[in-house]
Structure 1
Amino acid sequence: MRTSTDHGSRLALVSNRLPKHEIAGLAGTSLKHQHLPAILADDAPGGFFEVHAENYMGAGGPPHAALARIREDFPVSLHGVCMSIGGPQALDKAHLARFKALVERYEPALVSEHLAWSTHETTYYNDLLPLPYTEATVARVADHIDQVQEAIGRQLLLENPSTYVTFPQSTISETAFIRELVKRTGCGLLLDVNNVFVSATNQGYSALAYLSDFPLADVGEVHLAGHAEQQDDEGELLLIDSHDGPVADAVWKLYELVIARAGPIPTLIEWDSAIPDWPVLKREATAAQAILDRHARAASRENIRASA
């Protein structure tokens, strides 16, 4: 199995047929087609846009026309939701080929997928399901990540899940499991701060302790989103990673801590249902950008003092 030491030498360089737009330190939003006219008319629309890969696996049509227009002027992040990297069966070769074709077509600044599974034999679930954290699962998931990275010729960012159940078979903590995947494959990480808060609330552990143990140095992108509050069968609070509202105050506080520790990582606002008008979504990204900029300035001042 590939390790992080030889990962870089085995990945092909991106061809750079398209304009190269820097994404470092930027806040962005999910690209929604209904927002395209407002985005193009906006003098300062924001930093970058992220799309779900599966929405663009057809050959052409309006979705590709919109994405091609955005790609001319902005960095794009490609986010997969159906690779089923955590599943027990082999990766779908046709799906992986379509994913690879999208990476080659749009040369995204970032490419990501989920630490989850969503298929069983010929059944496809409309959800991102958790997996047991065991040595056997580490080996299987690492092999799947290797296959994806080999196919696309570049690093994949792996996203931590939101969870509602856990497995008694698990023998490894989620953060240790993720660290081992990075070590074995050289993949990067997508830290979804809302997922951390949702999972910690549902499972009864500390979100701060989780983040303290998370390998922040390997994070290449951050996700922020809204969640919904429900009750479980016992009447206890249950959070759902719903992406249907603004980022909660508690998640903003966790995000501030992450950026203070790790620096200005590209940050994406996810809002995938009950989608608001463009100014509302942009306002969330502007709030994230303010945090990124503030910590970037603080780091710059610290560097100046250190070199004086």
Structure 2
Amino acid sequence: MQTLTNLPASAGMSLKPEYFDSVHTNLDANLWFEVHAENYLIQGGPRLEQLQEISSHFPISIHGVGASLGGPDPISQEHLSRLVSLLNLIPAAVFSEHIAWSGTQSNYLGNLMPTPITKDSIDSTAKNIMQLQNALQRPILIENPANYLSFKSDMPESEFMMSLVDITGCGILLDINNLFISANNTGIDPHSYIQGLNSDAIGEIHIAGHSTDPNEQGLLIDSHDSDVSKGVWELLEALLSHTGPKPVLIERDGNLPTFEALLAERNQAQHLINSIKKIV
């Protein structure tokens, strides 16, 4: 399998503009950052300039949310062109994107809709992955979704993901928070899911906080607006015990804490990776 990521097997954290001024203070040499591509698909400006400067000192993972890999249509050529321009400016260590459906016929849905887990959708999703990889001239990582309902499927989701890996040569961004949410909401076994993945295909791991739906008792929402839960930490430890050390991102998108508080949570992930290294 070709190299999927140039990230170190260490812990990283989401990089928001609110944190730019704090980036160069008292940081671990193994730290890396991740940004959402769609926040930087712009022509110049101070935000992009600051990201360029940070990328000269720290590895950067670029995470897309708008390609609609799992949708019925090919990826928008305009969107592809803007992604290519961004990656020409930022030396990204890895690029990742959701397996989701977020638009059709040039209309953006504003959400990550579920991709059917069927044999037919393997073909269309694989074509979109190849389209994106060919444009970027690199393998990408594909992220597992957070599921809120059980849908009829032709196969387990882990098998669907591995089929896409085998066909396209892409890798997997395994979002442990999404897996934990899916297990709670739909009853899948997260440990069987992990066992169904080729460890070598996992190029990055996400962990994040979630919330409970205010209207549907017991339903978990992938909100990224709180600290990582105990259950997600435990599932991360189980995963790393299976795979060995991997790049792990603390993902935070709402209710932003101070940079120091998020860094402390990141350091908790680094401590776990270090303990796995000793075992391995």
Instruction: Tell me if TM exceeds 0.5.
Output: yes
1:79 maps to 2:60: no
For the Cα contact (< 8 Å) 1:80–1:114, is it kept in 2? yes
Match of 2:17 in 1: 33
Match of 2:246 in 1: 265
> 1:1-80, aligned counterparts within 5 Å?
23-44=7-28, 47-80=31-64
For the Cα contact (< 8 Å) 1:191–1:221, is it kept in 2? yes
Match of 1:303 in 2: none
How far residue 42 of structure 1 moved from its aligned partner, in angstroms, is: 3.0
Identify if the C-alpha distance between structure 1 residues 104 and 93 changes in structure 2 by more than 3 Å, giving closer, same or farther. Answer: same
- Percent identical among aligned pairs is 38
1:145 maps to 2:126: no
1:107 maps to 2:91: yes
Structure 1 outlier segments of 4+, above 6 Å: none
State how far apart, in whole Å, the 2-side matches of 1:43 and 1:238 are.
Answer: 37
Larger Rg computed on CA atoms: 1
Q: Which residue identity does 2:261 align to in structure 1? A: V
Q: Which residue identity does 2:49 align to in structure 1? A: A
Deviations 1:112-149 (A, max 9, x none): 00000100223212211101111110000001111111
State how far apart, in whole Å, the 2-side matches of 1:120 and 1:148 are.
Answer: 16
The aligned length equals 279
Unaligned segments of structure 2, at least 5 residues:
none
Deviations 1:37-92 (A, max 9, x none): 12223344861000000111101112112211211110000100000000001210
State how far apart, in whole Å, the 2-side matches of 1:85 and 1:47 are.
Answer: 29
State how far apart, in whole Å, the 1-side matches of 2:134 and 2:118 are.
Answer: 24
Task: State the TM-score, normalizing by the size of structure 2.
Answer: 0.95
State how far apart, in whole Å, the 2-side matches of 1:88 and 1:166 are.
Answer: 20
> 1:1-308, aligned counterparts within 5 Å?
23-44=7-28, 47-168=31-152, 170-230=153-213, 233=216, 236-299=217-280
State how far apart, in whole Å, the 1-side matches of 2:252 and 2:27 are.
Answer: 22
Deviations 1:204-239 (A, max 9, x none): 222222222233220000000000012555xx4100
SS of equivalent residue, structure 1 residue 73: coil
Q: What's the RMSD between the two structures over aligned residues? A: 1.8
Deviations 1:175-206 (A, max 9, x none): 11011001100101100000000011000222
State how far apart, in whole Å, the 1-side matches of 2:138 and 2:232 are.
Answer: 30
SS of equivalent residue, structure 1 residue 201: helix
SS of equivalent residue, structure 1 residue 243: coil
Match of 1:306 in 2: none
Match of 1:304 in 2: none
